[in-house]
Amino acid sequence: MTGRVQLYAGGMLSAVFLVAAAVSLVWVPHDVAALNIAERLRPPGGDYVLGTDQFGRDLLSMLMVGARSSIAVALVAVGIGMGLGVPLGLIAAANRGSLIDEIIMRGNDLIFAFPALVIAILITAVFGPSAVNAILAIGIFNIPVFARVTRGGALSLWTLDYILAARVAGKGPARISVEHILPNIANLLIVQGTIQFSLGILAEAGLSYVGLGAQPPTPSWGRMLAEAQTMIYTTPRLAILPGLAIVLMVLGLNLMGDGLRDALDPRLRRAAR
């Protein structure tokens, strides 16, 4: 599959979920908090496009609201990772080889040394399960990823002549980092951002599956899976639909990440021609 096709397919897949999440902010077909036992386990069709669950809640509405919380958690988590990781990486690269660089990068290694999900479970277990704690837990583990990518990209740029020219022009490391380094590693960061975003969605689904994410009655894809578990033989639709949503969203983001990398990397762009 060429980069362009990947980019469009991934972008379209992701856009479907983004639009669904955005629409759910103002309108959903049915209220997701209201239980309606009389309408329980309705098959798809009619008033309920994707049917209802064992409490009579509309599955489509739940998926839409679930997309919203998944995306919100992943987005804020990536934001935390980028917001702290990128400056740390830039600082480390600007002071390469110094004590500051050592401290930052060994701190990174320390966070990397812990299994992310286990620590996330620990954090939510200690501070109580909630969407905010899930965001924090996932966000913290994004920091070292972005710090490393940033430092790696920045290090190779620091040896270039135009950086030397900027130093001859009297510019300090902070200014050089923002003006010359950051724009030239932006493509790396965008690609890493999409990949971390999809990992964030998976992590959110995992945490809410074990009950440590968004709390009821807010629907989330992970908990929908967990609740459908007991009925997987009688009404498989209840497990298949949220599972499919997770798979398609992550697939879409990964395809988009790959496509973006091909589109933004001038070396690959040249090779494709």
172 contacts another protein (rule: CB under 8 A): yes
| Phi, psi torsion values for 52, nearest 5 degrees | -125, 165
For residue 267, count CB atoms less than 10 angstroms from its CB and return exposed for 0-12, middle for 13-18, buried for 19 or more. Answer: exposed
DSSP label at 42? Answer: P
Minimal distance in Å, beta carbon 164 to another protein?
7
169 touching another protein, by CB under 8 A: yes
Nearer of residues 45 and 183 to another protein, judged by Cβ: 183
In the list 98, 167, 240, 268, the residue contacting another protein (rule: CB under 8 A) is 167
- Residue 12 tokens, joined: 């379209």
Does 161 contact another protein by CB under 8 A?
yes
Neighbours of 15 (CB within 10 A): 12
Which residue matches tokens 């040896």?
A: 159
What does the buried/exposed string (b/e) look like for 174-185 if buried means 16 or more CB atoms within 10 Å of the residue's CB? Answer: eebbeebbbeeb
- 145/81 Cα distance (integer angstroms): 8
Interaxial angle between packed helices 182-209 and 131-158, expressed in degrees from 0 to 180 and rounded to the nearest 10: 150
- Does residue 114 bind another protein (CB under 8 A)? no
Instruction: Give min distance, CB of 112 to another protein, in A.
Output: 25
Name the segment binding another protein (CB under 8 A); options: 29-37, 85-93, 106-114, 155-163: 155-163
Closest CA relative to residue 20, chosen from 178, 245, 270, 176: 245
Contact between 267 and another protein (CB under 8 A)? Answer: no
> Given the complex with another protein, which of 4 and 167 has the nearer CB atom?
167
Between the alpha carbon of residue 70 and those of residues 41, 42, 102, 171, the distances in Å are 25, 26, 35, 42
CB of 8 to another protein, least distance (A): 23
Q: Which of 41, 100, 171, 215 binds another protein (CB under 8 A)?
A: 171
Q: Which C-beta is closer to another protein: that of 29 or that of 173?
A: 173
In the complex with another protein, the residue whose CB is nearer, 125 or 160, is: 160
Residue 22 CA neighbour count, 13 Å, CB half: 6
Residues 174-203 that bind another protein (CB under 8 A): 175, 180, 183-184
CA distances from 196 to 61, 193, 202, 232, 253 (A): 26, 5, 10, 30, 9
* 99 binds another protein per the rule CB under 8 A: no
**Contact region for another protein (CB under 8 A) — 45-53, 54-62, 113-121, 167-175?**
167-175
Q: Which stretch binds another protein (CB under 8 A): 116-124, 163-171, 233-241, 247-255?
A: 163-171
Are 55 and 39 spatial neighbours (Cβ–Cβ below 8 Å)? no
Closest approach of Cβ 204 to another protein, in Å? 35
User: Does the footprint of another protein cover residue 160 (CB under 8 A)?
Assistant: yes
Applying CB under 8 A, does 38 fall inside the site for another protein?
Answer: no
Rg (CA), the chain: 22
Q: Which residues bind to another protein, rule: CB under 8 A?
A: 160-162, 164-172, 175, 180, 183-184, 273
